[in-house]
């Protein structure tokens, strides 16, 4: 990062010229960052300790999905695609159209420029420079603000999905509206969110418990109207009794191992007092109603809600911690730049796509690898695609523009402002989801995008 350090007048007037570092990696040319500022102005790397050296501009690589898009969608395709064959989740991923590593460099430089301007002394001489920094600051804050909105919606989706998946056994379901009210209107820390979600779920569990308990008598009464069930009762046919009751009772709140043990015990007691050939239906109804009780939800469920729960994968605290909490503030800019939804499409993982090193590679159908993915032209609206293509070129210009004299000059800052404006516009376009009909098989285990000639012509002719 840039860091402004107090120096003497002699040092301030002394200029240090650093040349452009140019190295070749894998046949690609990479560029350094010209630093002709006073000795006290240091360009730091991400770790803040050594001068930054530019790496390859456009290597695309696998990464963690940093919260802009749902993690459970990334790794468990059943959420979006329904039941799938084993291992299908590993065959899909999120693809960057402008390569992620290129965007990583953008995030690093934007952070460095912002830091430089924020560290400038508030003197009359620096007034103009600080004005440039304020302009860029405002634009970057707008980009991050838009990303925060996307992240929040994703966290709402994730928390809702995980709670409903984990606790459906208790007939508990939360809505995105309920989860959103909690996340939007409260301090997003675990200490604040945990008791709010716990109270919400406890209230739902209690209602489900009461509803299950109240339904027992009616279910038994209606079951006894069936000759088949009455026959199972009189012959003490345990399997038959359980079959009928599980079809009538909401099984989510009943432990039928316990239920059937209690029912068979109740039948034994009824037979001891049996006076006729068949059991009295009213006596059976009263006896079964007493024997059937829902889960003691406080006993079975409360451990997962306990503040100190640490061992179960199902406990609420872990769900909130992993799915409901926001990114650390210092990472907001990085995530907003690298995981712009409008720059992402979902499709088969790179393992199942041809790349520039493959035989029969076609840049209008296959994975772009280290370069801008031209094949995305078949997926996106033409305007969307052209915006990305323009942004990619402007990013190259921004990254290769030198820093002159004692600070980023007008050209560098104007380019920074320009690409941030473009990223904000593209952010609003959203991610492009997978649609099976847009893909076709290539060979035994590869997939490629079907060419849409009208879109290709509109973009390139």
pLDDT in tens, 352-368: 899 999 989 999 999 99
Q: Does 169 map to a domain? A: no
Q: Is the pLDDT at 80 greater than 60, yes or no?
A: no
The Cα 305–Cα 176 span in angstroms is 20
pLDDT higher at 348 or 145? 145
- In-domain check, residue 403: yes
Residues 348 and 382 in one domain: yes
Do the domain assignments include residue 167? no
pLDDT-above-70 percentage for the chain = 72
| 271 & 332 share domain | no
Mean pLDDT value across residues 115-121 = 78
Looking at the fold, whether 359 and 309 belong to one and the same domain comes out as no
Mean pLDDT on 277-287: 85
Mean pLDDT over each residue of the chain, to the nearest integer: 75
pLDDT range class, residue 88, cuts 50, 70, 90:
very low
- Mean pLDDT is highest, among 82-96, 254-268, 314-328, 380-394, for 380-394
Residue 50 in this model has a pLDDT that exceeds 70: no
Please write down the long-range contacts of 420-423, taking CB distance under 8 Å and 24 or more positions apart: 420/110, 420/136, 420/139, 420/140, 420/142, 420/143, 421/139, 422/387, 422/390, 422/391, 422/394, 423/143, 423/336, 423/337, 423/340, 423/391
| Predicted pLDDT at 250 | 64
Q: Are residues 138 and 201 in the same domain?
A: no
Non-local (6+) Cβ contacts of 239 within 8 A are none
pLDDT attached to residue 248: 81
For residues 319-326, average pLDDT:
85
Give me the mean pLDDT over the 54-60 stretch.
33
Return the higher-pLDDT residue of 247 and 140: 140
pLDDT band at 347 (very low <50, low <70, confident <90, very high): confident
| Cα–Cα distance, 349 to 275 (Å, whole number) | 72
Q: Give the pLDDT band (50/70/90) at residue 153.
A: confident
Same domain, residue pair 156 and 63: yes
Contact 86, 317 (CB under 8 A): no
Q: 302 falls in which pLDDT band (50, 70, 90)?
A: low
pLDDT at 208 over 50: yes
Q: What mean pLDDT comes out for the span 116-144?
A: 82
- What is the pLDDT averaged over residues 407-432? 90
Within this chain, do residues 331 and 319 fall inside the same structural domain, yes or no? no
> CA-to-CA distance for 23 and 3, rounded, in angstroms?
26
Within a domain: 63: yes
Whether 156 and 8 share a structural domain: yes
**∠168-169-172 over CA atoms, to 5°?**
45
Of 268, 290, 323, the one marking the end of a domain is: 323
Counting every residue written for the chain, the total comes to 461
Residues 134 and 239 in one domain: no
49 compared with 173, residue with greater pLDDT = 173
Across 19-42, average pLDDT = 31
Question: Among 403, 398, 412, which residue's Cα sits nearest to residue 17?
Answer: 403
pLDDT for 321 beyond 50: yes
**Number of domains forming the structure of the chain:** 2
Q: What is the DSSP letter of 314?
A: T
Residue 255 has pLDDT above 90, yes or no: no
Residue-level pLDDT at 218: 87
Does 330 lie in the same domain as 316?
A: no
Q: Give CA torsion, residues 178, 179, 182, 187, to 10 deg.
A: -170
Contact 192, 186 (CB under 8 A): yes
Predicted structure pTM score: 0.65
Mean pLDDT of 186-210: 86
Domain range for 251 is: 189-323
DSSP state of 251: G
136 and 26 in a single domain? The answer is yes
Overall average pLDDT of the 63-67 stretch: 41
Does residue 199 share a domain with residue 96? Answer: no
Residue 184 inside a domain? The answer is no
> In terms of domains, do 253 and 335 share one?
no
Q: What is the rounded distance in angstroms from the CA atom of residue 248 to the CA atom of residue 202? A: 25
Range 33-59 average pLDDT = 31
Q: What percent of the chain has pLDDT over 90?
A: 30
Which residue did the predictor score with more confidence, 331 or 388?
A: 388
Strands (E), 315-379: 344-348
> 223: Cβ–Cβ under 8 A, 6 or more apart, which residues?
229, 244, 245, 248
Q: Examine the fold and report which residue of 300, 323, 346 is the final residue of a domain before the chain moves on.
A: 323
What is d(CA 158, CA 236) in angstroms, rounded to the nearest whole number?
A: 47
Residue 77 forms part of a structural domain = yes
CA distance 217 to 236: 20
Query: Where among 288, 323, 358 does a domain terminate?
Result: 323
Indicate the helix (H) or strand (E) that contains 94. strand 92-96
Contact (Cβ atoms closer than 8 angstroms) between residue 172 and residue 320:
no
Indicate whether 174 pLDDT > 50: yes
User: Is pLDDT above 70 for 425?
Assistant: yes
């Amino acid at each position: 990062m840039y860091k402004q350090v107090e120096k003497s007048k002699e040092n301030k007037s002394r200029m240090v010229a650093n040349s452009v570092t140019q190295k070749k990696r894998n046949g690609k040319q990479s560029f350094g960052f010209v630093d002709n500022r006073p000795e006290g102005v240091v360009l730091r790397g991400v770790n803040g300790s050594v001068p930054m050296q530019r790496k390859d501009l456009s290597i695309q690589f696998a990464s963690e999905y940093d919260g802009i898009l749902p993690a459970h969608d990334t790794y468990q395709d059943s959420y979006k695609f329904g039941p799938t064959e084993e291992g299908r989740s590993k065959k899909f991923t999120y693809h960057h159209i402008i390569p992620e590593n290129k965007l990583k460099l953008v995030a690093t430089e934007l952070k460095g420029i912002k830091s430089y301007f924020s560290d400038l002394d508030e003197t009359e001489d620096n007034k103009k420079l600080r004005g440039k920094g304020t302009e860029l600051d405002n634009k970057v804050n707008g980009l991050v603000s838009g990303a925060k909105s996307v992240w929040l919606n994703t966290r709402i989706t994730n928390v809702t999905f995980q709670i409903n998946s984990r606790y459906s056994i208790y007939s508990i379901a939360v809505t995105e509206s309920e989860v959103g009210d909690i996340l939007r209107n409260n301090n997003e820390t675990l200490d604040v969110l945990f008791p709010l979600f716990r109270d919400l779920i406890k209230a739902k569990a209690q209602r489900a418990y009461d509803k299950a308990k109240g339904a027992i008598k009616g279910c038994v009464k209606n079951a006894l109207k069936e000759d088949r069930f009455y026959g199972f009762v009189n012959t003490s046919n345990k399997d038959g009794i359980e079959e009928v009751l599980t079809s009538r009772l909401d099984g989510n709140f009943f432990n039928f191992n316990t239920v059937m043990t209690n029912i068979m015990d109740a039948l034994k007691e009824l037979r001891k007092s049996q006076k006729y050939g068949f059991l009295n239906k009213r006596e059976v109804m009263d006896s079964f109603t007493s024997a059937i009780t829902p889960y003691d939800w406080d006993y079975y469920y409360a451990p997962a809600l306990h503040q100190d729960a640490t061992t179960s994968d199902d406990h609420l605290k872990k769900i909130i911690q992993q799915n409901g909490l926001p990114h650390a503030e210092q990472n907001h800019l990085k995530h907003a730049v690298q995981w712009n939804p409008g720059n992402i499409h979902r499709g088969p993982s790179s393992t199942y796509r041809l790349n520039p090193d493959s035989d029969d590679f076609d840049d209008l159908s296959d994975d772009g690898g280290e370069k801008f993915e031209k094949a995305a032209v078949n997926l996106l609206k033409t305007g969307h695609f052209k915006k990305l293509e323009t942004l990619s070129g402007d990013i190259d210009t921004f990254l290769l523009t030198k820093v002159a004299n004692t600070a980023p000059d007008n050209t560098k800052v104007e380019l920074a402002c320009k690409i941030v404006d473009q990223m904000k516009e593209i952010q609003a376009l959203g991610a492009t989801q997978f649609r099976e009909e847009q893909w076709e098989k290539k060979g035994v285990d590869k997939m490629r995008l079907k060419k849409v000639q009208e879109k290709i012509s509109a973009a390139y002719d």
